[in-house]
Structure 1
Amino acid sequence: MTAPQDETVLDIRNVTKTFGPVTALKDMTLSVKKGRVHTLIGENGAGKSTLMKILAGVHPQTSGEITFKGEPYRPKSPREARLSGLTIVFQELSLCRHMTVAENIFATHEPNRFGFIDDAELVRKAEELIEELGLPIKARAKVSQLSIARRQLVEIAKGLSYPADLVILDEPTSSLSESEAEILFSLIGRLKEKGVTVIYISHRMEEIMRLSDDITVIRDGELVGTMTREETSIDKLIAMMVGREMHDIYPPRVAPKPGPEVEPVLRVDGLNGGHLFHDVTFDARPGEVLGFFGLVGSGRSDVMNALFGVKRPEGGEIFLDGTKIAPRSPDDAIRHGIAFLTENRKEEGLVLAHTVERNINMVSLGEVSNAFGFARRSAERRGAEDEVARLTIKTDTIDTPAANLSGGNQQKIVLAKWLRIKPRILILDEPTRGVDVGAKFEIYRIIRQLAADGAAILMVSSDLPEVLGLSDRLVIMHDKKVANILDGEGLTPETVMTYAAGMQS
């Protein structure tokens, strides 16, 4: 039985947050009703994360008042927020890779006996919670052995291991497959039935319109408006977020797509990755966006790792312009003109402590170095500034640490890093994971332009509308093999899912 819809559980009044001279939130006012899903949307850097960190006790507000469950609320720490009944699951994972799932779920509040951690009870409670949530993970598994998607599910379980009246989910489906997202959606429904309130942050419009009871739009740190789902539409929400109409988020091709008469720049023949993938064959033409789609575990990302020299295939051949190559390392792949934007930007794409400038120039230092091997400072700065302008990266200066930027802008830095070397083959693994609508449009525009300039784009995405909207051809994988390769035009979600789920006749 759902809670009365007029009962306010969280009331935010005129909250402002400043960081030195920068105002991250200005006079934010928001009411959240009990037992409802209240979605918060806005472009990266709009202030969503700042507001959530205030609620989670990470940052204090500069001014304004917050009431939670009818009482003044100003938590001094995340622990105090949790004890008050507010739980937050951040998008960026906070797991210990070398600990088990159970140890991560109950980190800092492990069951103990006689002052020592009770390992048997820890595993039992974790298994009980995992079963209750319906998650496809094992309590005793090491987190390091899990995919990014499964780690996200562990993060969600960790957040829900605390008793909560209000649960904040920050981009919880950013790395989940459709089947895993369905598990989460079912879980949200059960939370609502128990009277638990959910604040949901997402950039995926389809799921926003499916899950939300109420929707609040934030832009540039200020409230734009709050409405019920029935009062709005995807087009209206996008216009409110970006301050302009966006009639087609997928920009048209800059040049005609290459036909079968165009010689492939890349040909993969019978590539075998042992237990990771089998007998993978495809080709990619210059000027083409070749999409890759499959459910989690289908082998998509493992194939990309093999092409980039991260993993050594056990058989099969890779040809570049008709010449056989065998990348033995990422450096080797880069020398062949292959670039790889990884799905895990935090751990594999960026050095967060380094500046925007240093990250952008990380793989192109040879191009800005003098005859003695020393980087030319002026060339470094000019190159970084050019990419910041081209990709509209929001940063105070190029000397700002990458860690200080929003997720979408961090993703743009990773993309800028690879664009500096002008790759012939650009592998994009979940290029818009955790990125807002405005930033997605910019990334899509860049993908189109790179293809028009002659690069072959290999794009892995679990976002079905995205992969259908951008791909010239689509490689569909199932059970670690290529199920089919289809022309991107005219494909329907039903057709793609039929092959991805192995249900074709």
Structure 2
Amino acid sequence: MTAEATEATTARPSLLTATGIRKSFAGVPVLHGVDVSVRPGEVLALLGENGAGKSTLVKILAGDHRPDGGTISLGGVSVPALDPKRARALGIRMIFQEPADAPSLSVAENVFLGRWPTTAGRVDWAAMRSRAARILAELDADLDPRATVGALRIGERQIVEIARALTDDARVLILDEPTAALSSEEVARLFRFVRRLRDRGVGIIYITHRLDEVRELADRVQVLRDGRTALSAPVGSVGRDELVSAMIGRSAGTVARPAAAAPAHEGAEPVLRFTEASIDGVFTDVSLSVAPGEVVALYGKVGSGIAEVAETAFGLRTLTSGTVEVDGRARSFRDPAAAIRAGVGLLPADRQRDGGFAVRPVAENLAAPSWPLMSRLGVLTSRREDAAYGRWREALRIRAGRGPRQPIATLSGGNQQKVLLGRWLERGSKLLILIEPTRGVDVGARQEIYTALRELVTGRAGLLVATSDYEEVVQLADRALVMARGRVVAELGGDDVTTRALTDAAGG
């Protein structure tokens, strides 16, 4: 926005205003009287570490939670009792970080979920697919309306969520980490759409952990810390360090490139080696190696093949040609259990669907891969699980206020990821495969996870990280292989691992 446009926007009355919002869960305060507002034609970036209260606040605005105190008004009219149906009727729409879709239904059915078009009392399937195709075309999304959503990748499912929001005449749009799993082209496409909505007078609340997005997209920024507003200002008046300091409550240091990996022992085999590995229609002729004590990143956009290569190393996919070796032995794992026994661990991209047992305790989640090693005469006790959790709670800075028996789903995203990382530390895995390891994780928790991963490789484990986050590659990897359209198009090491080199290669 120009300075004149920004001034005009700030002069408008607020479209949505929440004042003094308070909320507690099980007696634990989460929000302590937070104020937030968004004006017509404004993008408000809402920042804060996981657990700061961002998601709770926007879920109250979307009607998913009832506040314990405070007031909400829309267009100057008080709306004291919001529920999801009423919020939607008032034009408040929210796209959640994790897909809120129906995996067994088609793309078109999900785009119009709950509002399927009918003719003479019957669902008009042709009209629904045609209308869904038009909306997807507006997003420039190459998705088949007939495709089953559960078979799509996370980034593609996020696009379906965005398309669903397009079908409503939204006055206020809340986006919760919408770009966490999108490629750079998909992010640029989303930003174009958000700007079009802003220009039409829609108020947008945009939750993100990526500070470059704040500068590029937002007009105003608000930072929450520990359930309170730590900063609220026009974007142009604050710098990156000030934002990070407001989020974490301390001075923000610059994260440097990691020190060069210690060379593998003389004559030692790489802990992982791919040789001319291919899966028909997925990736082709991939060759790579990971030495003990080394972090190798696979960087690419959604659909580049990085996740599929990583999944192959864990036995989730089978090669059609080439080989995979672990510790110098050719491997074709029958299933993930065989990979775990061979010393391989995995942090999947979708931690809620594929990683943790949502309703089970954090200690049980951390200990799960080590159950065969913990049991005595076939008996496993919660005391042994709690002891395993205790071994890693401080090292990983896991914040679970109710202790080892707290359900993992009640933790913030960053703490959930730390628990899942702890399970492989407990197991003593020699090779760890990570797919988008800090997707949806805040700045402070990211650095704690990076520190834990560097300490893990110091213990001679090897790490293969598949990520679409170029900043993550720069901050974590010793070497990086860039993939595009299923092929390795560049290999970078040392000081050559830069954001410019990564993005240039991935585009190419």
TM (norm. structure 2) is: 0.95
Tell me which of 99, 106, 117 is aligned to 1:93: 99
Aligned twin of 1:43: 49
Residue among 2, 11, 27 paired with 1:6: 11
**Is there any run of 5+ residues in structure 2 with no aligned partner, and where?**
none
Q: Deviations over 1:19-77 (max 9, x none)?
A: 23111111111232221100100010110111111111111111111111111023432
Distance (whole Å) between structure 1 residues aligned to residue 261 and residue 26 of structure 2: 49
What's 2:156 paired with?
150
For 1:137-193, what per-residue CA distance to the aligned partner results, in whole angstroms no more than 9, with x for missing partners? 222222123211111111111123211111000000000011110110111110111
Return 5+ residue gaps in structure 1 as ranges: none
- C-alpha distance in 1 between matches for 2:79 and 2:371: 50
Matched, 1:377 2:389: no
Which residue of 1 is the match for residue 310 of structure 2?
A: 304
Corresponding letter in the other structure for 2:105? M
- Indicate whether 1:161 and 2:167 are aligned: yes
For residues 88 and 383 of structure 1, the distance between their equivalents in structure 2, rounded to whole angstroms, comes to 38
SS of the residue aligned with 1:364?
Answer: helix
Alpha-carbon separation, structure 2, partners of 1:430 and 1:345: 10
Q: Hey, what does 2:130 align to over in structure 1?
A: 124
Instruction: Measure the CA separation in 2 of the matches of 1:152 and 1:242.
Output: 28
Equivalent residues of 1:43, 1:242 under 8 A apart: yes
What SS does the aligned partner of 1:140 have? Answer: coil
Number of matched pairs: 500
- 1:68-217, aligned counterparts within 5 Å? 68-217=74-223
In the superposition, relative to structure 1, how do residues 251 and 384 fare at CA in structure 2: closer, same or farther (>3 Å)?
farther
Cα distance, 1:251–1:437 mapped onto 2, change above 3 Å: farther
Q: Is the 8 A contact 2:479 2:497 kept in 1?
A: no
Asked if 1:467 is matched to 2:473, the reply is: yes
**SS across alignment from 2:496:** coil
The answer as to whether partners of 1:251 and 1:444 remain within 8 angstroms in 2 is no
The answer to whether 1:358 aligns with 2:364 is yes
The alpha-carbon distance between structure 1 residues 18 and 251, as it changes in their structure 2 partners (threshold 3 A), is farther
Is structure 2 residue 464 aligned with structure 1 residue 453? no
How far the C-alpha of 1:289 sits from its partner, in A, is 0.6
- Number of the residue aligned with 1:218: 224
RMSD: 1.8
| Residue 501 of structure 2 corresponds to residue 499 of structure 1 | no
- Partners of 2:414 and 2:56 lie apart in 1 by 15
> Secondary structure at 2:399's aligned position in 1?
coil
Which residue does 2:319 correspond to in 1?
Answer: 313
Match of 2:330? 324
Partner of residue 334, structure 1: 340
2:75 equivalent to 1:66: no
Q: Take 2:328 and 2:443, find their aligned partners in 1: how far apart are those partners?
A: 39
**Aligned equivalent of 1:390:** 395
Kept in 2, the 8 Å contact 1:203–1:436? The answer is: yes
Question: Which secondary structure does the structure 1 equivalent of 2:71 belong to?
Answer: strand
Q: Percent identity?
A: 37
Contact 1:341–1:415 (Cα < 8 Å) also in 2: yes
Measure the CA separation in 2 of the matches of 1:482 and 1:155. Answer: 31
Q: Please, which of 485, 491, 494 is the counterpart of residue 485 of structure 1?
A: 491
Paired residue secondary structure (1:5): helix
- C-alpha contact 1:218 1:225 (8 A) present in aligned 2: yes
Is contact 1:250-1:441 (8 Å) kept? no
Deviation at 1:252, TM superposition (A): 4.4
Question: In 2, Cα distance between the equivalents of 1:490 and 1:289?
Answer: 15
Q: What amino acid is the match of 1:61? A: P
The residue type equivalent to 2:442 in the other structure is D
Distance 2:276 2:218 in 1: 45
Task: Say whether the 8 Å CA contact 2:258–2:475 is kept in structure 1.
Answer: no
Q: What is the match of residue 248 of structure 1?
A: 254
* C-alpha displacement of 1:321: 2.9
Separation of aligned partners in 2, 1:87 and 1:202: 17
Counterpart-to-counterpart distance in 2, 1:365 and 1:259: 31
Q: CA–CA distance in 2 between the matches of 1:477 and 1:492?
A: 15
> What is the TM-score with the length of structure 1 in the denominator?
0.95
CA distance in 2, matches of 1:251, 1:66: 45
Q: CA shift at 1:120, angstroms? A: 1.8
Please say if residues 472 and 489 of structure 1, whose CA atoms lie closer than 8 Å, have aligned partners that are also in contact: no
Could you tell me how far apart the structure 1 residues matched to 2:48 and 2:256 are?
19
SS of 2:460's partner is coil
> What is the SS of the residue equivalent to 1:363?
helix
- The alpha carbon displacement at 1:251 in A equals 7.4
Paired AA for residue 350 in structure 2: N
Write the distance in 1 (CA, Å) between the matches of 2:223 and 2:343: 42
Q: Which amino acid aligns with 1:474?
A: A
